[in-house]
Amino acid sequence: MHDIYNFVSGPLVWVSFVIFFGGSLYRLISMAVLARKKDVFVYEYMSLKFGLRSILHWIIPFGTVKWRKNPLFTIVTFTFHVCIIFIPIFLSAHIILWKESWDISWWYISDTTVDILAVVVIASCIFFLVRRIVLPEVKYLTSVSDYVILAIVAAPFITGFWTYHQWAGFRVMGIIHIIAGEIMLASIPFTRLIHMIFFPFTRGYMGSEFGAIRHAKDW
């Protein structure tokens, strides 16, 4: 167990972080290079002001017509996205690991709160799953990879919750939890989870076109 633990919480963490940061950087740079080569006008039309204006509207809950039209989805998706970014960063059990290895630490959320938020994340994943299965317009677009991506994102939270509550086999689950987190991190640059990285650019570009050229709102 020691060897496995030390491996997944040591070298594998490095590997996943390197893949995540390196991969994301690679994707960003290769997108920028390709755009420079093939869609050069994107650089001409990209506008910081209007790009940010659009992004701002879209990252504020109920900030767009679309968000207002689907209140349930809006609440779920915003809570979900905020949670999956904040929980791993501000969980005390993660911070103490940073403290032990790097002697750095920061503000943390109480475990009780995280416990509730983890349930929220898992419930959101179930919501997305049900949506995929039940809503015809989503089902039509769905392929196997969509379920895989959902599982990749849900896994660290389910296993983390399991481990925290020390249910049967929690030691093994703890190891699986660490691996699941690493898989999620590493898969961001190479799956449609890349939307995390590309969102500011796709939205920003549409915001620029709409704002600077077409003098219209895109929300």
Site for another protein in 123-182 (CB under 8 A): 135-144, 146-147, 149, 163-166, 170-171, 174
User: Angle of helix 170-187 relative to helix 11-38, nearest 10 degrees?
Assistant: 20
Listed in sequence order, the residues at least 6 apart from 218 whose beta carbon sits closer than 8 Å to its beta carbon are 54, 206, 207, 209, 210, 211
Instruction: Work out whether 12 is an interface residue with another protein (CB under 8 A).
Output: no
Q: Are 139 and 132 in contact (CB under 8 A)?
A: yes
| Smallest separation, CB 162 to another protein (Å) | 10
Instruction: Work out whether 13 is an interface residue with another protein (CB under 8 A).
Output: no
Query: Residue 131 or residue 183: which is nearer to another protein going by CB?
Result: 131
Q: Which residue from 117, 154, 187, 203 is in contact with another protein, where contact means CB under 8 A?
A: 203
Q: What angle do CA 33, 192, 23 make, to 5 degrees?
A: 50
Q: Sign of the C-alpha dihedral, residues 81, 84, 89, 90?
A: positive
| Smallest separation, CB 205 to another protein (Å) | 7
Site residues (CB under 8 A) for another protein, limited to 81-120? 92-93, 95-96, 99-100, 103, 105, 107-108, 110-111
| Smallest separation, CB 66 to another protein (Å) | 5
Site string for another protein, 36-65 (x = CB under 8 A): -xxx-xx-xx--------x---x-----xx
From CA 101, how far away is CA 169, in angstroms rounded? 26
| Smallest separation, CB 8 to another protein (Å) | 11
Query: Residue 21 or residue 165: which is nearer to another protein going by CB?
Result: 165
From CA 37, how far away is CA 161, in angstroms rounded? 47
Q: 203 by DSSP, 3-state: which?
A: helix
| Smallest separation, CB 193 to another protein (Å) | 8
| Smallest separation, CB 182 to another protein (Å) | 16
Q: Which of 182, 218, 146 lies closest to 14 in space, CA to CA?
A: 182
R_g over Cα of the chain: 20
Query: Residue 18 or residue 214: which is nearer to another protein going by CB?
Result: 214
